[in-house]
A and B are shown apart, each in its own frame.
Chain A
Amino acid sequence: MIQVEVFGPGCQRCKATLEAVEQAVAATGLRVAVVHVSDPVEMARQRVLFTPVVRVNGETKSTGRVPTPAEIAAWIATAGAPS
Chain B
Amino acid sequence: MLADFLLAGLRALQDYVVLHVVTCLVPAFLLAGGIVTFVSKEALVSRLGAAASRPASFATAAGASVFLAACSCTVIPVASGLYYGGAGVGAAFILLWVAPAANLLSLVYTGTVLGAGMAWVRVLTALAMALAVGTVMTAAFRREETARALPARQGARARLLSGTDAGLLGLVAVSLLAPNYLVGQGPYAHKVAVWAATSALAAGFAVWRKPRDELARWLQETWWFVRIIVPLLLAGVFIVGVIGAALPREWIATYLGGSGLRPSFLATLLGSVSYFATMTEAPFVHTLLGLGMGKGPALALLLAGPGLSLPNWLAIARVFGPRKAAVYVATIIVLGTLGGWLAGTFILR
Contacts and interface: CB of A to CB of B under 8 A. Distances in A.
Interface of A: 7, 9-13, 40-41, 43-45, 47-51, 63-66
A44 B318 CA distance: 12
Provide the main secondary structure of the chain A interface.
loop
| A7, A11, A49 pick with most chain B CB within 10 angstroms | A49
Contacts of B78: 49-50
A48 B81 contact: yes
Nearest to A68: B220
B221 A65 contact: yes
Interface in B70-87: 71, 73-74, 76-78, 80-85
A66 B224 contact: yes
Interface string B180-209: 000000000000000000000000000000
A66 B84 CA distance: 25
Given A40-B319, A50-B41, A51-B74, A45 B224 contact: no
A64 B41 contact: yes
Given A11-B71, A51-B74, A65-B36, 12 more contacts: A7-B77, A9-B73, A11-B228, A12-B228, A40-B315, A40-B318, A47-B85, A49-B81, A50-B41, A50-B77, A50-B78, A63-B41
A43 B80 contact: yes
B45 A49 contact: yes
A37 to B, nearest CB: 10
Contacts of B227: 12
A73 to B, nearest CB: 18
A41 B318 contact: yes
A78 B16 CA distance: 49
B85 A41 contact: no
Interface in B36-89: 36, 41, 45, 71, 73-74, 76-78, 80-85
A35 B82 CA distance: 23
Nearest to A41: B319
B84 A48 contact: no
A51 B71 CA distance: 12
Contacts of A41: 80, 318-319
The 10 A-B pairs at the shortest CB distance, nearest first, are namely: A49-B81, A44-B84, A44-B80, A40-B319, A43-B77, A12-B228, A11-B73, A40-B77, A49-B78, A44-B81
Nearest to B76: A40
22 contacts: A12-B224, A13-B224, A40-B80, A40-B318, A41-B319, A43-B77, A43-B81, A44-B77, A44-B81, A45-B84, A47-B85, A48-B77, A48-B81, A49-B41, A49-B77, A50-B78, A51-B77, A63-B41, A65-B217, A65-B220, A65-B221, A66-B224
Contacts of A64: 36, 41
Nearest to B48: A49
A9 B77 contact: yes
